[in-house]
Structure 1
């Protein structure tokens, strides 16, 4: 399960994200304070965005990709009473209970493909992973990647696994190809076949179940068509497990960009 901390102060909104994440200060049960980027259950995209963040983020970490450590943050809505921004105040009031936090990389910069070239092997691993989770939000317009001390970090996976918005079509949706023509790393000749050979065998039922187990029950209750949170977790495993075996065969990259990175 995710480590749980308690929010004590809302510092500032991070308006780059559509769900209006915020920088908060929180304390753990040892009395240690730290800053987190917090995403809210009361945001417009709802709790499924947070479910996707947890499953995809924990899976990425299990595969050796860099994703900031995830945490469950308990929020008392009273924190929002003193906020001068009405939008932020309403968001905090609507997000009582458990929300999602991730370590704040204070020295990180947004990924710039002109300033930070990526080798084809690393590009391949990221593109393959995004294909696995059907991440539609890693384009050159919005890379959702950070660079800290020369290392590439992946963030913002809430727009992944879009099939969980309509479970009746999940099997069909999960079998579809992945269009990577607009992917931020497409110009770097991603070696997706090599990535698949390396990573696909690691995507086991056990690893997927472990990632799904980190989703708090309260984000999974009352899901239509499922009897309990564990049944929902099994549905995520069932969608991702077969996809890992063959998705590299269905990644669509633009032919010109396979021949060389854009300078």
Structure 2
């Protein structure tokens, strides 16, 4: 099977609008050279480039699975923005983020998903839980759902905390089959009653060629492990995702057990 053609557009920041002071990464709302507004995740934030890698890989996995994700774009930040910002904290962030960053299309008027108000049908809930199991996304809890409601539809955002094992040093990809106990806190777990069905669907969509094409989107300049080439680092991500995908029955069972303990 030929590799699918995947690509992200590249735009430039033309106007810094306002910082979004949620969480520790201090993203910002900006206007870009294409006339649209974006939420920028900065390479100079505390979580570093690996958070951007996780945002990119997991966001595009979600899209391939048919989940709604704001468009991701590469966004260039000129050093001039850091010189004109009066807030010293933001000035430092912008200075350390000169170059290529990642941004999500801004969904104007979207509201945060509230599990007490917003209903999600079982198949959709199951697919989101399945994706978060695959990618070890610890950040989809009732306290911080990282989901939006926009035009009465569920949209996923903020995947920088996923793939957290890539912060653990050399050999991290070999830990791919470890359990995911944080799953018990997933905000959609009580509604995820079709996990086995979506597991089969996801396997059909996530071929080795698709996984490779998604990982190949990661720019060389974001892959900064000193002893490995960018190609070797991409191979680690593909190996990690392939191993977890092959063992998906284990985390599906883990999710079923955790769900049964809740209901």
Scaled by the length of structure 1, what TM-score is found?
Answer: 0.91
| Larger displacement relative to structure 2 (99-108 or 161-170) | 161-170
Measured in 1, the distance between the counterparts of 2:65 and 2:188 equals 18
- Number of the residue aligned with 1:146: 148
Partners of 1:38 and 1:100 within 8 A in 2: yes
Indicate the SS of the match to 1:38.
strand
- What does the per-residue CA deviation read over 1:168-199, in whole Å, with 9 as the maximum and x for residues that have no partner? 34244210122321001122244211110111
- Number of the residue aligned with 1:110: 112
- Number of the residue aligned with 2:67: 65
- Are 1:255 and 2:260 matched, yes or no? yes
CA-based RMSD of the aligned residues comes to 1.5
Q: What is the aligned counterpart of 1:26 among 27, 32, 35? A: 32
Measured in 2, the distance between the counterparts of 1:75 and 1:155 equals 21
Structure 2: state its 5+ residue gaps: 1-6
Measured in 1, the distance between the counterparts of 2:161 and 2:242 equals 19
- Number of the residue aligned with 2:191: 188
Indicate the SS of the match to 1:33.
coil
Q: What is the aligned counterpart of 2:215 among 209, 212, 217? A: 212
Indicate the SS of the match to 1:181.
helix
- Are 1:238 and 2:235 matched, yes or no? no
| Larger displacement relative to structure 2 (187-196 or 202-211) | 187-196
Distance apart, 1:167 and its partner CA: 4.7
Partners of 2:177 and 2:247 within 8 A in 1: no
Measured in 1, the distance between the counterparts of 2:8 and 2:32 equals 15
- What does the per-residue CA deviation read over 1:68-110, in whole Å, with 9 as the maximum and x for residues that have no partner? 1110110012112222221111111111100111100012110
- Number of the residue aligned with 1:6: 12
Structure 1: state its 5+ residue gaps: none
- Number of the residue aligned with 2:77: 75
CA 1:248 to 1:139, structure 2 compared with 1: closer, same or farther past 3 Å? farther
Partners of 2:11 and 2:75 within 8 A in 1: yes
Partners of 2:129 and 2:192 within 8 A in 1: no
